[in-house]
Amino acid sequence: MSLRSPIGRVLGLGAAKEGVSHWWSQRVTSVALLLLGLWFVASLLRMANFEYEAVIAWIAGPVNAVLLLLLIATLVYHSLLGVQVVVEDYVHHHGLKIGTMLLLTFAHWAVAALAIFAVLRIAFGAPGGAG
Amino acid sequence: MESSTTRKRPLSPFLTVYRWQYTMALSILHRVTGCALSVGLLLFAYWLVAAASGHDAYQTARDFFAHPVVRILLIGFSFAFFYHLLNGARHMTWDTGQGLERKAARVSGWIVFLGAIVCTALFWLLIMRNAGGAA
């Protein structure tokens, strides 16, 4: 016999009110990062050198730029999901927990914005970027 | 006044009550490498921002990444990357209900740990060879 209400069972959200969305997002980003991560490592290994011109030319390639953007977004999202679990496990003071997560969220979005902007700037060949 | 929620109740057993096993170390290492890689994101972003900022800024970044201390850090980050990736695959195998038996979990633990070391070594060997030692 289940004590859960029919509506609760249908929604499947449980006590956390989010259901398995956090857990599932972590898995989806893991699979994506498995592929994107291996692509990035293979790309680094295929790069003849890390001179400025070579790196700019590589980033500016349309496929490379888009895959880099996907890599950045997935990495940052996966990282944020991960550190959230760590903070929830080890930071017990409620206020401190919220404050820490707030800071980490801001930091992650800032890193994502910077990295994405950098790739776009190179890909669109802004002066100073590809110049 | 002590309510039932504030009274000191026994908690579920924590690490200190268990006999140490290397699978525990491997489990913690997944979390440690994950946190390390979150910090490593900063270096990844710095590399991209430096490249987008022009030749001089990129050269500064290259000098920074070539510093011996940073090089050692990068080797550490690359190990963290390979370990977290391989162990993540191990975790997702567990999610399907496979490989959870003690023997299988121990064997896969060794494979992941040694695999990460081999991948790290191979990665840097190839990088160094490609760049003629001046990556």
B128 at the A interface (CB within 8 A)? no
CA distances from A76 to A63, A113, B54, B60, B133 (A): 20, 10, 24, 25, 31
DSSP B6: T
DSSP structural state of residue A13: -
Contact B98, B91 (CB under 8 A): no
How far apart are alpha carbons A103 and B131 in whole angstroms?
39
Does the beta-carbon distance from B49 to A115 stay under 8 Å?
A: yes
pLDDT < 50 positions in chain B: 133
pLDDT at res. A131: 43
Interface test with B, best of A43, A52, A87 (most B CBs within 10 A): A52
B chain contacts of residue A27, beta-carbon cutoff 8 Å: 92, 95
pLDDT of residue B54: 95
Confidence at residue B11, expressed as pLDDT on a 0 to 100 scale? 72
* CATH entry 1.20.1300.10 includes domain A30-129: yes
Contact between chains at A37 and B35 (C-beta distance less than 8 A):
no
Q: Would you write out chain A's pLDDT as a tens digit for each of its 131 residues?
A: 678 888 887 887 877 777 789 999 999 999 999 999 999 999 999 998 899 999 999 999 999 999 999 999 999 999 999 999 999 999 999 999 999 999 999 999 999 999 999 999 999 986 554 44
Which two three-digit tokens encode residue B25?
């170390």
Of B31, B58, B85, the CB nearest to A37: B85
Probe site for chain A from B14, B29, B41 (most A CB atoms < 10 A): B41
- Residue B48 in tokens: 């991209």
pLDDT tens-digit series, residues B6-23: 677 777 777 777 888 888
